Amino acid sequence: MKVKNLTSALKLISKISNPASLTSIFKAVELKENALRANSEFGNIHLLLPETTGLPDAVLLETEALLAISSSLSPDSEITFEEKPSHVAWSCVKDDAKGKLNFVVTDSKIADITHTEFPWAPPKDFGKALKLASAACQQAAVSFGLYGIEMFPIDNKIYMMSSNNVSLAATEVDRGDFPDLKVTLRPPVPDIIKAILETCPTSTMDITEKGIYIIGDFLLAQLHLGVPLDFNLKEISDKYRETKKTMSINTSSIKKFLQRARSLTEKQMSFTVTMKIEEGRLLLEHRGISSSSEQYFLAEGLDTSINYEGVSLPAELVMTALEDVDKVVCDYLSEKQLILRGSTPEFLYIVGGNEVHAHA
């Protein structure tokens, strides 16, 4: 079969297959004559291949190892497989390469997906919105009861939100036939959904209390849910939706400043930047032990009479959102809250800061 077809399928499979798992079956891919299957703690996925592998029987191989092999070969070359008693022999004539992969030995099996109803067609920006809503989701927040991304409908919109007790990310998209149900997703499930919808845009879904189910032209997936969050993120985000004082920003230039500041930050120091507004201009400052940087940025639409004292912000969290925002909301800077907004899709990103005190 063509190497590029195998590699493309394995890249999607690898979103679910977990090489760090202690369970052998969760690190493996089932290679069949015309399909790939994998499951893990994150879910279960089945892919139909556009051509045969040449293997009459299903074999279990390590996903990471097989992907490493296919990724190293010429995409337009052919790879062939031959089953042996304890391994699969592979060869690629064009690259003059060959080798073997031992079977994954386990008593476990990859489960079948029996779900048959997929009534919801997600909007085209759903995958991107879900990824943006994950921007504030961090493992460290598990102790706060905040590890996960909430997804729920209100009226004709679906809201998706995450928080880590310092920042909050929220997106919204059209509801369509999304069920009247609140669910929580834990990473890497949002990234898996986004990858599936990008690979197969015509996919339809079902959202249930038991999991998320997706079907496409050549794939079938079942993804697991996380536990509900302990806080009402919608109630928090609603406090920061008013936008009277806004300015348009050039996010690419701000991102370059933050990248420079990160490279200058000493390993033992936290990566923070100070944001000020002076006479309607946005000023970013970074100070380390042995270096410092500051830069003014053009900001359109802000009254030149507006001034705000410095607010110290966790820079990594600000960088997370910059690709998809175009406005800074200044209404809440006096409360030490930086609000970033984007419009495609509707995106709200709140970062809490600390007041900067002048040193003598």
The pLDDT tens digits of the residues spanning 202-241 come to: 999 999 999 999 999 999 999 999 999 999 999 999 999 8
Report pLDDT for 354.
Answer: 61
Confidence of residue 360 (pLDDT cuts 50, 70, 90): very low
- Return the CATH number at 203: 3.10.150.10
On whether both 141 and 232 belong to a single domain, the answer is yes
The range of the structural domain enclosing residue 280 comes to 241-355
The predicted-structure confidence for 302-342, as pLDDT tens digits, reads as follows 777 777 777 788 888 888 888 899 888 888 888 888 899 99
Same-domain check for residues 254 and 324: yes
Considering the domain boundaries, does residue 119 fall inside one?
no
Residue 120, domain member (yes or no): no
Which residues make Cβ contacts (< 8 Å) with residue 35, sequence separation at least 6? 46, 47, 48, 49
Same domain, 245 and 230: no
8 Å CB contact between 37 and 47: yes
Choosing from 239, 262, 278, the residue where a domain stops is: 239
Q: What separation in angstroms does the CA of 234 have from each of 83, 171, 339, 347, 348?
A: 54, 11, 15, 13, 11
Q: Which of 182, 210, 239 is the last residue of a domain?
A: 239
Q: Is residue 109 part of a domain?
A: no
- Determine contact, residues 336/352, Cβ cutoff 8 Å: yes
d(CA 253, CA 243): 23
State whether 251 and 231 are in the same domain.
Answer: no
The answer to whether position 257 is within a domain reads yes
pLDDT digits (tens, 9 = 90+) for 173-205: 999 999 999 999 999 999 999 999 999 999 999
Question: Is 98 a member of any domain?
Answer: yes
Number of domains making up the chain: 3
Say which residue the tokens 């929220």 belong to: 170
Clarify whether residues 195 and 271 are in a common domain: no
- 166 shares a domain with 230: yes
| Domain shared by 165 and 250, yes or no | no
Strand locations in 281-329, DSSP E?
281-287, 292-297, 299-300, 308-314, 327-329
Residues 150 and 235 in one domain: yes
Are residues 328 and 249 both part of a single domain?
Answer: yes
Task: Give a yes or no: residue 112 inside a domain.
Answer: no
User: Does residue 107 lie in a domain region?
Assistant: no
Strands 272-278 and 346-352: unpaired
Instruction: Tell me, yes or no, whether 177 and 217 share the same domain.
Output: yes
* Count of alpha carbons within 13 angstroms of residue 201, beta-carbon side: 5
Cα separation values, 207 from 37, 113, 123, 236, Å: 22, 15, 14, 25
**Looking at residue 358, what is its pLDDT?**
39
Neighbours of 359 (CB within 10 A): 4
Q: What is the pTM of this model?
A: 0.89
The confidence band for 359, taking pLDDT boundaries of 50, 70 and 90, is: very low
- Among 46, 67, 102, the domain-final residue is 102
Reading the block at residue 163, the tokens are 């928080």
- Judging by beta carbons within 10 Å of its beta carbon (0-12, 13-18, 19+), is residue 140 exposed, middle or buried? exposed
- Please check whether residue 168 lies inside any domain of the structure: yes
Residues 141 and 163 in one domain: yes
Pair 218, 260 in one domain: no
154-170 pLDDT tens trace: 999 999 999 988 889 99
